[in-house]
A and B are shown apart, each in its own frame.
Chain A
Amino acid sequence: MRKDLITSALAVVLFTLILGLAYPLVVTGVSQVAFHDKADGSQITRDGKVVGSKLLAQPFVIDTGKKDGDGNPITRPNPRYFQPRPSATGYSASATYFSNRGPNQASARFFYRDALAAYLQLEKPFTPGLTDAAVPVDAVTTSASGVDPHISPANARIQANRVAKTRGLPLARVEQLIAANTDGRFLGVLGEPGVNVTQLNLALDTVTA
């Protein structure tokens, strides 16, 4: 028993040094040299300032100047930008959590109803004849991370009408940018294609500028 205690204590100390310090620090060192930008979170800089990460969604909204009951500013989507998927966390990249919306919850039904209405209100003026049944499911459901940077190509095609109109760009140009910012399946097999909204909006801003 005593011998086991001594060995255990030594083992915990020794393995903590190897696995808890040497291993992560060596991996950090190699990563910082070999994949510096990626290891630091694929940060996007514009005019020397960090404006987000390529891998994370962020809100593209306009402040309405009004405040809600809790004193938080009420915003509306900025029509000049593609809109990412709904987020349970307000696109927080520093405190993530799930939406916890179950399959049979009444509160979930109201959420989807409101999300559908909001999507139609934003897009219908630019895509006449758009109905509930034509709205892709990713546009009205919350992502897992709350910062899912991708939307489905179908969702992007609908939003393209609005963005092209409000920015005065030819639709073909916007669709070109969508294609350039679509991450396909790996080797054509794994995962699903998605349009990276953060990078797409960044690219849009350089076109108009």
Chain B
Amino acid sequence: MAQGYLQFAVFFGALVIAMPLLGGYMARLFTGQRVFLSPLLGPVERSTYRLLRTDPGAGQDWKAYARSVLVFSFVGWLALYLILRTQTIQPFNPEGFHSGAWDVSFNTVSSFVTNTNWQFYGGETTMSYFSQMTGLAVQNFLSAAVGIAIAIALIRAIAKRRGGGGVGADAADRSIGNFWQDLTRALLYVLLPISIVAALVLVSQGTLQTLAGSVGFHGISRASGELALGPVASQEAIKELGTNGGGFFNVNSAMPFENPTTLSNFIELWLILLIPVSLTWTYGRMVRSRRQGYAIFSAMAVLFVIGVVVVYVAELHVTPAQHLAGVTSHHIAGSTGGNMEGKEQRFGIADSALWTAVTTVTSCGAVNAALQSLTAIGGLVPFANLSLSETIFGGVGTGMYSMLLYVLLAVFLGGLMVGRTPEYLGKKIEAREIKLVTLGTLFTPLVALVGAALATASAYGKASIYAEGPQGYSETMYAYMSQANNNGSAFAGYTGYVQPNPGNLGAHGVTFADLAGGVVMVLARFAPILFVLAVAGVLVKKKASPAGLGTMRTDTPTFVVLLLGVVVIVGALTFLPALLLGPVVQGLTTRLF
């Protein structure tokens, strides 16, 4: 037990050390100051703008910014769809895989463009290396960069100080930045350099990186087998760093070829939280008050730590099915003990629990252990994390902007309680922005619940469900919560793709699950982005007034508690009834189904 907690402490320490370094770097980068990579990347950045025929200095108001985001994502969507549907004519396809079915491709494309990386397909049996590299991995970069850009735009709007009257604001006053500049900088200065280093470190641990096709072998004791290979490490690095999570292999980061050692596991975990954690520091720097950043970091950290501990303690116990079969529940020296179903020996209970918590608070759908095989209470944690709508660190950028919406909500509620006009960092929070904030925070849960309701209450959803009893319900519910939160992890078993043979030949999608999931992902990604940018558009124009004696402080432990209360209560009110039917029932009974 102590061993597990020591690992958690080391991990958290490694993040906290990196936070000011990367956080400060991003703050300088996105406010146009020189960073240490500027001499190297400055020329590349300037050529990029020339090639894109765009003027990075031209500020965009929120509508122009939003239009660029939407058009760019739509074009990216079309490009990826084209790639997945033309596998037969691609280079780097040593296995000769056929193209994906239209419906499962629709789901996959929507999934990668929205930073979800929900996977109905099996990577190593359906995707050519070309699709993986130039299709899926590219969207891993682009969707992550879009998330960062939106978060930076909102922070900029909150931080912006302007003099003069509030009427007749001119173009510069309405600007929340330039999308093409934010996108390019996030890609060139943040995501790409870290990915290159991380990919090479992973290869040094044994992660694959080759263009050669699969290798047949005759085993040590008996003829059999084939090793599926591929350019894995380059994709693995950005998959974690961009909180994407789409594995090269079907079993994702449980596969030794993706995640071979305990050190590679540690690095991958660290990469997942690196940017989301650092952005809280960036925030503090950009609004010129580090304490504001600490407050948000603290609120996120509290919920995160609770989640880690609960999964860990739960997984140290065996499941009812194991107990009834006679599997020992006491600890044997030299063994991990606990529920090892769907877990890898090298990760044991602690690293699997930590991974489960890390990937479900962020929007990273990667797994190193099977979520559907967790104990009921352990499995409740991923559900609870998804219920909190990506506010605990969250996806790269998305976590920050989702949490800022909750911050505004908490400020508003706090203002009502003390009977004063709510203010955040000197800017009055009024009816218009609170309406937008409310829509932004409630939209994702709405889409998740409607999707899950359609899938469970109609006959269309049946084709995807194999498990009996509440397990089948849990898997369905999780599928829609995960897709709506753009997370991408799965209580696998909920099926959207039937594939009798490797290579897509004779395979077909489960059309309802593919389309419903795809639509859920797209709506729950882009509608909140529009609301967030609209909030930014309102806030950027507001005049900041100096804080007075009666101003509610937003950098104190009291505010952190208020913020936690708002996040947890909104999440619980929205999802508790739905969760009662699945994981809660499974946790309360030892009956088998």
Contacts and interface: CB of A to CB of B under 8 A. Distances in A.
B342 A59 contact: no
A35 B196 CA distance: 15
Given A98-B342, A109-B325, A137-B318, A1 B71 contact: yes
Contacts, number: 424
Contact of B220 (A5, A52, A93): A52
Contacts of B218: 49-51
Interface in A34-59: 34-35, 38-44, 46, 49-56, 58-59
B220 A98 contact: no
B261 interface: yes
A207 interface: no
B227 A93 contact: yes
Interface residues of A, number: 113
Contacts of B333: 154
A49 B220 CA distance: 10
Contacts of B470: 104
Given A138-B340, A143-B345, A38 B203 contact: yes
A40 B261 CA distance: 16
A190 B373 CA distance: 23
A134 B221 contact: no
Contacts of A190: 7, 10, 262-263, 265-266, 351
Interface centre among A28, A49, A59 (most CB of B within 10 A): A28
B67 interface: yes
B203 A55 contact: no
A179 B211 CA distance: 35
A35 B203 contact: yes
A23 B192 contact: yes
Contacts of A209: none
A202 interface: yes
Contact of B346 (A12, A116, A194): A194
Contacts of B368: 144
Contact of B327 (A30, A46, A140): A140
Contact of B326 (A41, A60, A112, A144): A112
Interface in A1-41: 1, 4-12, 14-16, 18-21, 23-24, 26-28, 30-32, 34-35, 38-41
A1 B75 CA distance: 12
A159 interface: no
Interface in B86-127: 122, 124-125
Contacts of A154: 332-335
Contacts of B229: 40-41
B134 A16 contact: yes
Given A58-B225, A183-B261, A15 B142 contact: yes
Interface in B317-351: 318-322, 324-328, 330, 332-351
A19 to B, nearest CB: 5
Nearest to A21: B134
Contacts of A26: 196
A74 to B, nearest CB: 13
Contacts of A28: 209-211, 231, 234
Contacts of A153: 334-335
A190 B195 CA distance: 23
B574 interface: no
B489 interface: no
Given A8-B71, A186-B263, A41 B210 contact: yes
B176 to A, nearest CB: 16
Interface string B44-78: 00001001111000000000000110011011100
A72 to B, nearest CB: 12
A60 to B, nearest CB: 5
A67 to B, nearest CB: 16
Interface in A70-115: 75, 78, 80-81, 85, 91-106, 108-113
Given A15-B142, A59-B222, A98 B492 contact: yes
Nearest to A51: B220
A191 interface: yes
Nearest to B336: A192
Interface in B552-593: 586, 589-593
A43 B137 contact: no
A60 B345 contact: no
Interface in B207-260: 207-212, 214-222, 224-229, 231, 233-235, 249-251, 254-257, 260
B79 interface: yes
A24 B236 CA distance: 11
Nearest to A143: B344
B284 to A, nearest CB: 30
B346 A104 contact: no
Contact of A1 (B67, B180, B468): B67
B358 interface: no
A61 B346 contact: no
B256 A148 contact: yes
Interface in B491-531: 492-493, 502
B589 to A, nearest CB: 7
B534 interface: no
B225 A102 contact: no
Interface centre among B122, B345, B471 (most CB of A within 10 A): B345
A103 B327 contact: no
A189 B209 contact: no
Nearest to B321: A108
A158 to B, nearest CB: 10
B351 A191 contact: yes
A124 to B, nearest CB: 14
Given A58-B225, A95-B124, A99-B370, A192 B347 contact: yes
A204 B20 CA distance: 50
Interface in B358-379: 367-370, 372-376, 379
Contacts of A165: none
B204 A23 contact: no
B222 A61 contact: yes
8 contacts: A60-B221, A96-B251, A101-B342, A102-B373, A103-B375, A106-B321, A133-B328, A136-B334
Given A28-B234, A40-B210, 9 more contacts: A16-B79, A100-B373, A103-B379, A105-B471, A137-B337, A140-B327, A148-B345, A151-B345, A190-B10
In the complex, the 3 A-B pairs of residues with the closest C-beta atoms, listed nearest first: A191-B262, A192-B348, A20-B134
